[in-house]
Amino acid sequence: MEYIESIPWEETVIVPKIVQNESTDRPFIQANTIPTTLQELQNKHIIPVFIKDNEPVISHNDFIEATQEVVSNVFSGQQILQPSIRLSHPVMGRIPDAKHKPANQLQEHEKTLYYERMAFIIELPAYTAVVGGNMLSLTVGGVKAYNLDNLYSRKGADEHFKVFIGFKNQVCTNLCIWTDGYQADLKVNSIGQLQACIQNLIERYSASYHLQQMEQLTQYSLTEKQFAQVIGRCRLYQHLPNHMRSNIPQMQLSDTQVGTVCKDYFRDESFCKNEDGSINLWSMYNLFTGANKSSYLDSFLDRSVNAYAFVEQLRWALEGKQHSWYLN
């Protein structure tokens, strides 16, 4: 195996892969999102401002460009794909000269638009690994939701971001994220601070350890009866009294998403059950992350991290290291 030596925190496991020229067009999240490009964000979308002083916020394209710069510096000389970007919750407006026009008569130059929520990923196709027979590629990304910011304030108020580094499963475009590669509520008030925090997250992340933990999921399986019990208790969890929930590991997927896991247990081409009804934890994890694609952007990454934590505690229970309410 030929190892990559250019990353100080990663000298094993990751192996080179033939690079691609552009990122995949398969969505890493679906829900109510639409795709866009960085050029469209830069040229066609207005930028929200802080109302009290009319100073601009850190825009979606600022966030993406800042991340690209950090990734380029950390992974110097390596192929970096163009970002894959998804948007939701459009905020539409119009220029003053068109204020009396019916909406269906507005011309393009008379419309204004920005999107409240945005998610993006940047893939590094030179850094790949195989887990459970699936090719994974190193991926950096984030989510920005203006609804979390206090836009009624002045410039200098904290702006909220979510950033991560992890892997994308090339088979299904599911994201594999865990707590050590995720910052859920990054608060900054300048692009410089934002870049420093992203770089710190990347440099602290251990890709090899993350891969080793995911590889362990392939070694443990649930029987059909155990899978049915886990799914049943996932549904029960949503309706438990608060005092009971506090002592049980969270299950953040919605009831509809748990139903999707049930359906894919039988039908998914890559991660469905075995002939005897059993399913290994790696496949179950990917059923969860696949169902998570229907989450809204502001909860997508949190649920991605929760999916891994949930399946990992099932592994601990199968190993006999701890009790699991979902299995016992």
For residue 6, is pLDDT > 50?
A: no
Compute the distance between CA of residue 319 and CA of residue 216 in angstroms, rounded to an integer. 11
Cα–Cα dist 78/57, whole Å: 31
**Band of pLDDT at residue 32, cut at 50, 70 and 90:** confident
Q: Minimum mean pLDDT among 14-18, 184-188, 296-300: which range?
A: 14-18
Rounded CA separation 226/327 (Å): 7
pLDDT in tens, 247-273: 899 999 999 999 999 999 999 999 999
State the CB neighbour count (10 A cutoff) for residue 238: 13
Work out the angle between the directed axes of helices 224-237 and 255-267 (0-180°, nearest 10).
160
- The C-alpha angle with vertex 270 and arms to 269 and 274, in degrees rounded to 5, equals 90
Question: In angstroms, rounded to a whole number, what is the distance separating the alpha carbons of residues 136 and 138?
Answer: 7
Per-residue pLDDT at 42 exceeds 90: yes
Indicate the domain borders of the chain: 34-207, 218-319
Least confident of 63-72, 89-98, 156-165, 282-291: 89-98
Structure tokens at 85: 């970007």
Q: Any idea which of 6-10, 45-49, 264-268 has the lowest mean pLDDT?
A: 6-10
Tokens in use for 139?
Answer: 């991926």
pLDDT for residue 7:
42
Tokens of 272: 């469905």
For residue 5, the SS3 value is: coil
**pLDDT band (50, 70, 90) for residue 24:** low
Helix, strand or coil, per DSSP, at residue 258: helix
Are 266 and 272 spatial neighbours (Cβ–Cβ below 8 Å)?
A: yes
DSSP H helical ranges for the chain? 38-44, 60-74, 191-204, 207-217, 224-237, 242-245, 255-267, 281-291, 297-319
Higher pLDDT, 8 or 214: 214
Q: What is the mean pLDDT of residues 5-34?
A: 57
- pTM of the predicted structure, to 2 decimals: 0.89
